[in-house]
Amino acid sequence: MKEKVIDCHTVWNECLKIIKENISPQSFDTWFSPIKPIELKNYVLTVEVPSMFFHEFIEGNYWELLKTAIKKVLGINGKLEYKIPISTSESGSHKSSMTLPTSTISTAESQAKKPIFVAGEQEVRQIPNPFVLPGIKKLNIKSQLNKNLNFDNFIEGDCNRLARAAGYAIAKNPGKTAFNPLFIYSNVGLGKTHLAHAIGLETKAQFPELTVLYVNAETFIQQYVDAAISKNINDFVHFYQMLDVLIIDDIEFLSTKPKMQEAFFHIFNFYHQKNKQIVITSDKSPAEMVGFEQRLLSRFKWGLAADLQVPDKDTRIKIIRSKLYNNGIEDIDEEVIEYLAYRIVTNVREIEGAIISILAQSSLNKKQITVELAKQMIDKFVLNTVHEMSVDYIQKVVCDYYNMPVNLIFSVSRKRDIVHIRHSSMYFSKKYTDLSLSQIGAKCGNKDHATVLHACRSIENLIATDKKIKEDLNNIDKILKNS
């Protein structure tokens, strides 16, 4: 330990410098600024976190970063201990504290190679190179599945129904359906990894005797490199051929790596010949992928390629309710849920991040979750997030401005006020989204492209001839520009 590191405050400040360089300013302010150093004794740094929620989130999301920071500052014997204050009165003016088990960091742990996953049922034992060990048994291969990413909390909607149905069918009859391989693709944050884990978990539940393995392509690559260095490529391929169900995430990382593609090609062929199941995820469809051998791309197309799309408003509302419920929030104003659903439209990961920020702020400051609190947090969140305007949100802004319910846009009413709101929504949708006129019409009461074109021209004429309408539309435009 460096000589200048003499007390808990100095140690923690040194750790914070390392942490701050590796995460966003917003994440640092939310999760690390509230933490207070309490004590340093025998290489054990004790810090106080505001709540159990904070502790669980930090351990779940930033443990590797904390491990690195503590090791650099305190050395190989460094340990981290948490204290959580507990209120003993309603006002919270009297507090005791609870101490969580110490988290130990060791140099050996940080230097271990990424392993092939071999473990007993009750413990995870990581072996740098298990291929050289005799008698690897299928029953000793741990699945690496996340039990929290299951079908129960994978919210179904029009955006993902095909992929989910195919995944569930596979879990009921792995290797025996027409969906082999199942190739799941989408942009980031739309649930590919969640669905992949859900398929694996349901397969294990239905067929406990089968050996299921989830592996990220980056880990697959590292394992291949380790095997190549030790001249054990054949053992590497053999290991993967031992499995019954292989789930490989982010296959695009194998692009421009012909030797690794060759290994995967042999694994794939073996699975297909033996009616074993393969599930693959990617950020692109097979037709859009580059850097892959044609023979491998053709095999990706043998089964079903199913995409996950951006969730619509109704699906976003279901997702938000589910996320809140899973975090212990059952009684919450529907207006908060609707605000979040209208405001955050890009992907599920963005929705989850916003909810976590709101829950953290509520927990830290003991504030009730209201629309005002949600707006404060979302405004900050949006500033740090590449955001996409949606037709749903535009409709909400227009209807709120005129104090009208959104469902009037989808009605067949020909009342002047309702027609104007409908036309205004189409006009701003054309201005602020990249959707075609037909797509906009489909989201505005199943109107055709000619109706949308007529609506846009009508609004342009009104802007040129009616000062009051022009002022109203300028005000709406300002709201949307600041969104």
As a whole number of angstroms, the distance between CA 25 and CA 32 comes to 10
302 and 161 share one domain = yes
244 and 325 share one domain = no
Report the pLDDT averaged over residues 138-157. Answer: 82
Adjacent-strand bridge partners of 248: 215, 280
Q: What is the pLDDT of residue 373?
A: 76
Give tens-digit pLDDT for 308-333.
Answer: 887 777 788 888 877 777 767 767 77
Structure tokens at 470: 């022009």
| 123 inside domain | no
Q: Measured between alpha carbons, how far is residue 246 from residues 69, 199, 214, 268 in Å?
A: 35, 11, 6, 9
324 contact partners, CB below 8 Å, separation of at least 6:
330, 332, 337, 355
373 and 403 share one domain = no
Cβ atoms within 10 Å, residue 287: 10
| 120 inside domain | no
Residue 134 has pLDDT above 80, yes or no: no
Give tens-digit pLDDT for 92-110.
Answer: 434 444 554 444 433 333 3
Structure tokens at 87: 């209120």
| 459 inside domain | yes
Residue 442 has pLDDT above 90, yes or no: no
In which domain, by residue range, is 426 found? 391-481
326 and 294 share one domain = no
As a whole number of angstroms, the distance between CA 474 and CA 483 comes to 14
Structural domains counted in the chain: 4
Q: What is the pLDDT of residue 380?
A: 60
What's the pTM? 0.54
Last residue of a domain, one of 329, 349, 383: 383
| 250 inside domain | yes
Report the pLDDT averaged over residues 180-191. Answer: 87
35, 360 Cβ separation under 8 angstroms? no
Residue 195 has pLDDT above 80, yes or no: yes
As a whole number of angstroms, the distance between CA 98 and CA 104 comes to 18
- The pLDDT-based confidence of 379 (bands split at 50, 70, 90) is low
Q: What CATH number does residue 301 fall under?
A: 3.40.50.300
Structure tokens at 335: 């207006």
Cβ atoms within 10 Å, residue 170: 27
**Residue with more model confidence, 142 or 465:** 465
| 461 inside domain | yes
Length of the chain: 483
225 and 338 share one domain = no
346 and 396 share one domain = no
Average pLDDT, the chain: 79
| 125 inside domain | no
Last residue of a domain, one of 365, 383, 401: 383
213 and 227 share one domain = yes
297 and 318 share one domain = no
- The pLDDT-based confidence of 189 (bands split at 50, 70, 90) is confident
415 and 273 share one domain = no
Q: Measured between alpha carbons, how far is residue 401 from residues 394, 413, 424, 444, 472 in Å?
A: 11, 19, 11, 17, 8
As a whole number of angstroms, the distance between CA 85 and CA 97 comes to 4
154 and 194 share one domain = yes
Q: What CATH number does residue 44 fall under?
A: 3.30.300.180
Range with the poorest average pLDDT among 54-63, 286-295, 375-384: 375-384
Range with the poorest average pLDDT among 22-26, 250-254, 365-369: 365-369
Tokens 């082999």 belong to 180
Give tens-digit pLDDT for 396-417.
Answer: 889 988 988 888 888 888 888 9
**Residue with more model confidence, 132 or 409:** 409
411 and 445 share one domain = yes
Q: What CATH number does residue 413 fall under?
A: 1.10.1750.10
Last residue of a domain, one of 56, 77, 111: 111
360 and 427 share one domain = no
Q: What is the DSSP string of 211-251?
A: -EEEEEHHHHHHHHHHHHHTT-HHHHHHHHHT-SEEEEE-G
Q: What CATH number does residue 352 fall under?
A: 1.10.8.60
| 72 inside domain | yes
Give tens-digit pLDDT for 207-238.
Answer: 998 989 999 888 898 888 888 888 888 888 88
Q: What is the pLDDT of residue 324?
A: 74
